[in-house]
Amino acid sequence: MVSAPPVHVLRLGHRRERDKRITSHLGLTARAFGADKFVLGGEEDPNVIETLESVSGRFGGDFQSHYEKKPMGWLRNFVQKDAGDGSPGVAIHLTMYGLPWKETIPEIPRDRPIAIVVGGAKVPGEVFGLCQYNISIGNQPHSEVAALAVFLQSWNPGGADASNFTGGLTVVPMESGKQILSPGESLD
Ligand code: SAM
């Protein structure tokens, strides 16, 4: 089966002290809902990357994350030159000022890698023109984590399926209680 083009999440404006929990949750949400790569922009914060690598190591899958010193340069290159396969990609900026997600997501091409851009501190005005899509998850101010989760679930409804996370611990869905299988262990 031909796999879909990769999904990147670019976090702009991370503030190491103020955003450490929410940026970690943003990366974990990106991973858990099917994104392939998390790009951290703003203040460098090894703790965030270590958290994401630790969860990926324990629960499997191929999720990757890295710190990007020049996130706007990364975004310009992604949109104008090379999204990882030598050709430009498509950037979607999540913002409360954008077009409604339900009507707009179906218009986004699916044959190119995408970069979902979320802000933290003040989002540079250039982002709005650089991204091919500015999409709102409702037009009220809320959270980058909620916005990303709704977008990813709409973009790929199967993104959170357990089958996407091989090689690590497997949580067995239970009516009550907890059950976790080690790599290679099965229920029967
Ligand atoms: N201070 C930032 C600014 O001035 O642009 C925005 C802060 S907001 C808490 C952080 C991020 O959450 C935004 O950049 C946007 O990516 C996302 N976000 C918040 N509300 C949203 C909405 N209604 N639709 C889409 N994204 C939203």
Tell the residue nearest (CA) to atom 21 of ligand 1.
96
Q: Which of 95, 122, 150, 152 to mutate to test the pocket of ligand 1 (most atoms within 8 A of CB)?
A: 95
> Is the CB of 118 within 6 Å of ligand 1?
yes
Q: Are 115 and 91 in contact (CB under 8 A)?
A: yes
Please tell me the pTM assigned to this model: 0.96
Question: What is the pLDDT at residue 23?
Answer: 98
| Phi, psi angles (nearest 5°) of residue 73 | -65, -40
Q: What is the pLDDT of residues 44-92, one digit of tens each?
A: 999 999 999 999 999 999 999 999 999 999 999 999 999 999 999 999 9
Say what angle helices 144-155 and 20-32 make with each other, to 10 degrees.
10
Q: What is the pLDDT of residues 105-130, one digit of tens each?
A: 999 999 999 999 999 889 999 999 99
Positive or negative CA dihedral for 147, 151, 157, 161? negative
Chain centroid to CA 39: how far? 8
Domains of the chain: 7-161 (3.40.1280.10)
